[in-house]
Copies of this chain bind each other. A is one copy, B any other.
Amino acid sequence: MLKRVTLKQVASRAGVSYQTVSKVINHKVHISTEVEKRIWDTVTEMGYTPSYTARSLRIQRSRTIGYTWEPSPADQANPILDQFLQSMFNTAEKRGYYLLCFPYLEPEKQLDMYRHLIDTGRVDAFVVSSLNYTDPNVALLCEREFPFVAFGRLDGSLIFPNIDVDGGLGIRMAVEHLLSLGHRKIATLAWPNNSRVGDNRIEGYFSAMQAARIEVRPEWVERGEGSYEVGLRATTTLLALPETTRPTAIVAMNDLMAIGAMAAIRNIGLSPGKDIAVTGFDDTPTARFLNPPLTSLRQPVWEIGQHLMERLITYLETGHYPDPFEELVAPELVVRTSSTGIEMDRVLIEKGELYR
Could you tell me which A residues sit within 8 Å of B by CB distance?
A: 1-2, 4, 47, 49-54, 56-57, 62, 64, 68, 71-72, 74-79, 81-83, 85-86, 89-90, 93, 98-104, 113, 116, 118-122, 144-147, 228-229, 232, 256, 259-260, 262-263, 266-267, 284-286, 288-291, 346, 349, 355
Contacts and interface: CB of A to CB of B under 8 A. Distances in A.
A286 B263 CA distance: 13
Nearest to A77: B285
B98 A101 contact: yes
Nearest to A79: B77
Contact of A49 (B47, B53, B104, B120): B120
A54 B62 CA distance: 11
A82 B93 contact: no
A122 B144 contact: no
Number of copies of chain A assembled together? 2
B77 A90 contact: no
B53 A62 contact: yes
A98 to B, nearest CB: 5
Contact of A102 (B74, B93, B118, B147): B93
B288 A75 contact: yes
A260 to B, nearest CB: 7
Contacts of A89: 68, 101-104
